[in-house]
Amino acid sequence: MVDGDKTVEITALAGGYLPAVESLIVSEQAGLSITSSSNSLSEDSPPATITVRRHNTDKSQKLTVTLSNSEPNQAVVLATVNIPVNESSVTLDFAPIGDTLLDDPQPVTVTPSATGFVQSSTTITVEDHETLTLSLTASTIDENGAGTMATVTRSNTADNQLPLTVMIQTDDQVKRPRWRL
């Protein structure tokens, strides 16, 4: 827990003597914290910003921080970053991967670490983003004509082994088109 240095008062007592009091500062262990500009983002959105901060440590040296990424298939995060001399923090991108799978929201945990530092982590959910596109061969058709061809395409091409039932509807109740499959 990052909660600052603590001062402890120590007292020596013995019968007939005045007590002796001394104070002692217990300095907090060096630690790393991590925050993100967003808790969740879509597969197709621009990167979020991650901030890694060092606490209770000498800043006269740069600090190399290693980052672990629990789901490298869902987001790209640099494997190492440097907190520069005289700086407390560094920022880096959390870039979601736009895959072609209907794969549900995926939590991704990023954990910074450096030798001697207490570590913490942050979890960012990468939301699924798959689409249907509908294209018609003709933009105008005759009401008694032969009709036109509609093609529905799904974006998740990497996991399309199962058939997908697509509902087709129209806003025109009078000139309702007849769909033939």
CB of 166 to Ca ion, least distance (A): 18
Contact partners, residue 17, CB within 8 Å, separation at least 6: none
Q: Is the separation of the CB atoms in 105 and 127 below 8 Å?
A: yes
**Cα 138 to chain centroid, rounded:** 42
Applying CB under 5 A, does 99 fall inside the site for Ca ion?
Answer: yes
CB of 72 to Ca ion, least distance (A): 12
Applying CB under 5 A, does 114 fall inside the site for Ca ion?
Answer: no
Interface map 122-151 toward Ca ion (x if CB under 5 A) = ------xx----------------------
Applying CB under 5 A, does 28 fall inside the site for Ca ion?
Answer: no
Applying CB under 5 A, does 43 fall inside the site for Ca ion?
Answer: yes
CB of 42 to Ca ion, least distance (A): 9
